[in-house]
Structure 1
């Protein structure tokens, strides 16, 4: 079972192998591949730092506990109808995304995200809505 916070549910949709450091990328790639290959993997939705935050580089400004990040977590969970403390399969999270999100929602709930300008999250949501699941990382 993995712990994930609200906004990382969306980050995984758009993930394309970019990240804050080599260690962070390796960790996120491994999780992304696990969820893609095993959508029944259990996820515990947490409020605050999660499995991915564990590998955030110590040399960078740690933003995992910034108020803005908590607000983004809350907005995303509210939008997809989930709450902290829930434990569910990744495929169930994808189902919530499919039912409650459209690609344009990224522009609103992820307004302050530095990765938003790449447009990959919208592509990830589109793939989920089409029933394709997480895309392979090139």
Structure 2
């Protein structure tokens, strides 16, 4: 079982092998690949830093404790009808995305994220809506 915070549910959709450091990318790729290969993998939704944050590079201010991220986590979970402490399969998270999320939600929900400008998160949401699952990361 993986522990994930709210906004990382969207980050996984847009993940294309880029990240904050080599260690972060390796960790994110491992988790992404596990979910892609086995959508029945259990996820526990947590408040605050999760298993992806564990590999965020130590560059001074700890990005993963930023108040904006906690707010983004809450907005995303509420939008998807999910809550902290809930345990569910990744395929159930994809189902909630199909029911409650559209690609343009990224523009408002993730308005302060610097990764938003790449457009990959909207593409990732559309692929989930189309029933394709997570995109392969090469």
TM-score (norm 1): 0.98
Counterpart in 2 of 1:78?
78
Q: CA deviation at 1:58?
A: 1.3
Mapped to 2, the partners of 1:103 and 1:68 lie a distance apart of 21
Mapped to 1, the partners of 2:60 and 2:18 lie a distance apart of 16
RMSD (Å) for aligned C-alpha atoms: 0.7
Equivalenced residue count is 138
Unaligned 5+ residue runs, structure 2? none
Counterpart in 2 of 1:44?
44
Unaligned 5+ residue runs, structure 1? none
Q: CA deviation at 1:60?
A: 5.3
Mapped to 1, the partners of 2:108 and 2:45 lie a distance apart of 21
Mapped to 1, the partners of 2:62 and 2:56 lie a distance apart of 7
Secondary structure of the 1:20 match is: coil
Counterpart in 2 of 1:61?
61
Q: Stretches of 4+ moved more than 2 A in 1?
A: none
TM-score (norm 2): 0.98
Output one character per residue of 1:67-116: Cα deviation in whole Å (capped at 9) or x when no partner: 10000000100111100000000000000001100000000100100100
Mapped to 2, the partners of 1:31 and 1:47 lie a distance apart of 18
2:20 corresponds to 1:6: no
Mapped to 2, the partners of 1:60 and 1:80 lie a distance apart of 33
